[in-house]
Chain A
Amino acid sequence: MANREKLINTALALLLPALALAAYGMGEPFYVTLATRIAILALAAAGLNLALGLGGLVSFGHAAFFGIGGYMAGIFATHAFNQTPLFTWPIEIAATDQMPVIWLVSAGVAALVALPIGLISLRTSGVYFIMITLAFAQMIYYFAISWPAYGGEDGLSITMRNGFPGVNTLDPLNYFLIAYGLLLLVLFIFTRIRDSRFGAALQAARQNEVRVASIGIRPLRIRLAAFVISAMITAVAGALFADLNRFVGPSMLSWNMSGELIVLIILGGTGRLFGPVAGAILFVLFEFALGGLTEHWQLFLGLILLGVVLFVRGGLIGLLAGKVHHG
């Protein structure tokens, strides 16, 4: 079964660049963008999968981190374009339009925000945890709406997509490759964390918190670290997403977005390495196929999700590859 999962993962990993290359070759940039969108959503969900899949932490507030990344990309792009400094006080800091810097800042800011949110919300569990993470995300959502400097309700357009050293990011295939490369990197990091000592403690805490405490490991610390790392990854995805759409608005911070990320993971397979990828493919396909037919495509998505939760517990990966094997 473990081998079968590897095969499926490889197929999924190849599917995205195949789609992007084929579309590019046929001069269909729209489909390249679609593949990029899948890669970025998968990246965001891979971040959440660390907390939700491995740690059992159902964060209903990850849009906050996704949006933080998005706003970082938007804010940097705006300042860089207008050639105005980010800050003038206490020292003047100039903006850059280089993506690697923006990603690092996004991850850093997300970590700073996730730390207090995690410290407070991880003292609860179950439904309370879901509601508290949602509440924090909503606070940030309303903050963004009421902050006119960066667009308020209208959001922020990115006139010039941010750059990457040595690469023309305006070319859709190049941009796909950046997003896809980052996705593969994060999936690799995910496997290392999952199989590490930390990952063992995190997964054990999901299965039996009292057991973990009884051998002398504090579940709260482990979960907090997972929550923060998870937020950092999702924030980087948010920065990519804003650059893809050349727009960031409060909708990136909304609870729908948090819900979508959870839906992605459940569709694909909770806690599975390629669950977020499978989920993102399914989600974007549904959005694309059903969205063309009816405005109420999310209703159908809801029904499909219900079916997955009731009948195929492990999502698509679980359906194809069977149960997780822990060794």
Chain B
Amino acid sequence: MAEPVLNICNLCKSFGALKATDDVSLDLYPGEIHALIGPNGAGKSTLIHQIAGTLKHNTGSIHFMGRDVSALGVSHRAQLGLGRTFQISSLTPEFSALRNVMLAVQANQGSSFRFWQPVMADASLKDRAMHMLERVGLVDRAPVPSAELSHGERRQLEIAIALALEPKAFLLDEPMAGMGPEGSKRLTGFLDTLRHEAPILLIEHDMDAVFALADRISVLVYGRIIATGTVDDIRRNPQVREAYLGESV
């Protein structure tokens, strides 16, 4: 098998007495969608935060593209190619959807120290950003301040921003949440093709989407990974059925 793009080894993180991440090891290989599922409060988002650098882990290691990124800050890791979305949308509220994406295009071009040319007259930024909005189906809403977008639209915008970064790996934290069945279905189709651009670590509660998309699934319960395997492995795993999937399978 190829080298993993992302390799997490024996990661631990505590909030006081709470072990939010308990000896987690996990890989993400080129071209795959690795789903991370688990009940509310299992520590899924906390794990994404540690990979992206918004939270620092206590022990263990995170390697990205063969490089230990543990000591690097959020922006540095993003520059290396980690493109993440937030479970609770995190946008620049006063800026339009378009400008939110334009900023990401600008960041990806690595050129924020230009003081003179107006961005809105910069076709290289605008066209590229429009293209990303088009891919997530948000072109109509380009001029709307992101604070005025609906919940689902904000989720789409988060993805457009991540796309604009042309990342080497996507970290998506519940992208389907609040999308409605129609939107979820469309997004499922989209992510299915997106994996060829870059592998995806996907946190999702929508089991239909997870089972349709995932090459591998890891199940996180109380900060621990209790199982990792293919969709069939996970469906059959008695521990998983008991701890998480319950009767819903």
Q: Flag if B165 contacts A216 (CB, 8 Å).
A: yes
- A88 sits at the interface (CB 8 A): no
Query: CA–CA, A200 to B76, complex, Å?
Result: 19
B156 close to A (CB within 8 Å): no
Q: Which of chain A's residues have a CB closer than 8 A to the CB of B75?
A: 212-219
In the bound complex, how far is the Cα of B116 from the Cα of A239, in angstroms? 26
Which listed residue (A216, A217, A219, A324) contacts B94, Cβ 8 A? A324
A214 near B74: Cβ-Cβ < 8 Å: yes
B161 touches A197 (CB 8 A): no
B90 and A214 form a contact (CB under 8 A): yes
B 36-76 binary contact with A (CB < 8 Å = 1; else 0): 00000000000000001010000000000000000001111
Assess whether B115 is in contact with A326, with CB atoms less than 8 Å apart.
no
- Expressed in whole angstroms, the Cα–Cα distance for A228 and B79 within the complex equals 25
Residue A308 at the B interface, CB < 8 A? no
A4 within 8 Å of B (CB atoms):
no
User: Counting CB contacts under 8 A, is A80 at the interface?
Assistant: no
1/0 per residue, CB under 8 A from A, across B85-108: the answer is 010001111111001001110111
Are B119's CB and A196's CB within 8 A?
A: yes
Q: Does B117 contact A (CB under 8 A)?
A: yes
For the complex, give the distance between the alpha carbons of A198 and B111 in Å.
Answer: 8
Inside 8 A of A196's CB, which chain B residues have their CB? 114-119
Task: Report if B145 contacts A (CB, 8 A).
Answer: yes
Q: A216 to B79, Cβ gap below 8 A?
A: yes
B78 sits at the interface (CB 8 A): yes
Measured in the bound complex, the distance between the Cα atoms of B112 and A222 in whole Å is 8
Stretch at the interface among A11-19, A31-39, A203-211: A203-211
A326 adjacent to B95 (CB under 8 Å): yes
Contact B90 A195 (CB under 8 A): no
Q: Is B120 an interface residue (CB 8 A)?
A: yes
**Candidate in B78, B108, B122 with the most chain A CB atoms within 10 angstroms:** B78
Q: Is B13 an interface residue (CB 8 A)?
A: no
State the CA gap A215–B162 with chains docked (Å).
Answer: 8
Most buried by B among A199, A215, A324: A215
The residue that B120 contacts in the complex, of A208, A212, A324, A327, with Cβ under 8 A, is A327
Q: B113 contacts A208, CB within 8 Å? A: no
Smallest CB-CB separation from A211: which chain B residue?
B90
B84: Cβ under 8 A from any A Cβ: yes
Q: Is the C-beta of A201 less than 8 angstroms from some C-beta in chain B?
A: yes
Report which of A192, A197, A203, A210 forms a contact with B74, defined as CB distance below 8 A.
A210
B93: contacting residue among A207, A213, A215, CB under 8 A: A207
Are B115 and A193 in touch, CB under 8 angstroms? yes
For the complex, give the distance between the alpha carbons of A213 and B78 in Å. 8
Q: Are A200 and B102 in contact (CB under 8 A)?
A: yes
- List 6 A–B pairs whose Cβ atoms lie within 8 Å, in order of A's numbering: A197-B113, A210-B54, A215-B75, A215-B107, A218-B73, A218-B75
13 further A-B pairs in the complex, CB-CB below 8 A; given A195-B120, A214-B54: A196-B119, A199-B115, A200-B95, A200-B99, A200-B106, A200-B112, A208-B90, A211-B91, A211-B92, A213-B54, A214-B52, A219-B75, A327-B120
Q: Which 8 A-B pairs have CB atoms at the shortest separation, nearest pair first?
A: A216-B78, A213-B74, A195-B118, A216-B79, A215-B107, A207-B92, A201-B112, A197-B114
